[in-house]
Structure 1
């Protein structure tokens, strides 16, 4: 794969490479972002972070992305919702630079912030969002890892940012972690009045994306909304979407 850019800061190594028509960002051997503007939906992991946005039962206007990486998900969201206002937070300044310079994450409706997600949520008022995505990962030697535990306090912080009918998605590098969380945080979810929970998986990846909402959002409704876009219409052979949705709440 042709290397377009590389950078080293202390022990941190960054690479932007081209794989076919796709751009990829690697940090310490971990693939953080992949995006092809000519094939927005590719059947890859990042599609799982797009699907939950279609569960929102209205016009998506505001989204919060915690863990920007190269900004692939932001680009995907704004491909389908052109007027969407997106706030992106990442504790890695190089990631934000790459997102802007290589992945084209720019525009008046996109605000990128260099900060720890926990600190940012604690210090930036009480704005609410239609879609909140927790995609916070670090890692070494190709092994992605969450930098802090996902506990009841963090779940509460995220849910505070959900607008009425808002949708929360959390990416885990192992699907089993998502299933376990349903059990370990059952009391917290009941206290927060979580009405629906789904886990999205792609058979080609180990990840599991946990989707939660205080509203009775339905996967069938999300599928209907996606079918209005040809590249998301799973009835067509040309559709590259590849996921399984399991209801857990």
Structure 2
């Protein structure tokens, strides 16, 4: 199942793809240099990140060759700043020994049952593997099909430990069921997020014209 969209004249899509990376703006003056995307789709999130952060280097893992072909040939990905691997994200995570990432987006979904759901269960073990590859001040973003899927994951447990991740937020689009959990290595507030969004002219314009739509709430550990 493939859903993706991007208008090169407008960074925000007004849909769920915006929420995958929006949590990076909890950081003061975010400038991620390295990002990991697990699940490429047709590359919307990659093109958005490349437009927002010109110096970013992106590694993307995708198991479907058709998705890779669409992303590289038709959706405007700058291949000089994107290293796309065909393979299983679980294998990549278990074998990765390279430098850490400032942003990790887990967008691993399957539509084999007719309804989108996570392709890899977001267990505590899986989250620890993602955490291992994250830089000291990095941001982790995990897409869930709905609130039920989030509650069944290891998100609350890893937040309750208060070790690496100090705070978590859940992003939702007003008309979609998805919940994107953003885990932070610092403490921040929704007002900080909004201030950073408004400091980027293209995003400020999108927010004013209702082209960037989100609701955000802190994730509780109980």
Same fold? TM cut 0.5: yes
Match of 2:52 in 1: 80
Aligned mate of 2:12, from 41, 54, 57? 41
Larger strand proportion, structure 1 or 2?
A: 1
The 1-side partners of 2:101 and 2:27 are apart by 11
Higher relative contact order (CA 8 A, sep 6+): 2
TM-score by length of 1: 0.80
Match of 2:213 in 1: 242
The 1-side partners of 2:207 and 2:174 are apart by 19
The 2-side partners of 1:180 and 1:246 are apart by 18
How far residue 191 of structure 1 moved from its aligned partner, in angstroms, is 6.4
Is the 8 Å Cα contact of residues 143 and 181 (structure 2) preserved in structure 1?
Answer: yes
Is the 8 Å Cα contact of residues 62 and 131 (structure 1) preserved in structure 2?
Answer: yes
Match of 2:198 in 1: 227
User: Residues 202-213 of structure 1 correspond to what in structure 2 (within 5 A)?
Assistant: 202-213=173-184
Cα separation, partners in 2 of 1:185 and 1:172, compared to 1, 3 Å: closer
Unpaired segments ≥5 residues, structure 2? none
Deviation string, structure 1 residues 58-90 (Cα, Å, up to 9, x no partner): 421111110001110000011110111111111
RMSD between aligned residues: 2.1
Larger helix proportion, structure 1 or 2?
A: 2
TM-score by length of 2: 0.89
2:164 paired with 1:193: yes
Cα separation, partners in 2 of 1:148 and 1:230, compared to 1, 3 Å: same
Aligned length: 218
Match of 2:150 in 1: 178
Match of 1:25 in 2: none
User: Residues 116-127 of structure 1 correspond to what in structure 2 (within 5 A)?
Assistant: 116-127=88-99
The 1-side partners of 2:49 and 2:155 are apart by 29
The 1-side partners of 2:174 and 2:10 are apart by 20
How far residue 124 of structure 1 moved from its aligned partner, in angstroms, is 2.2
Match of 2:41 in 1: 69
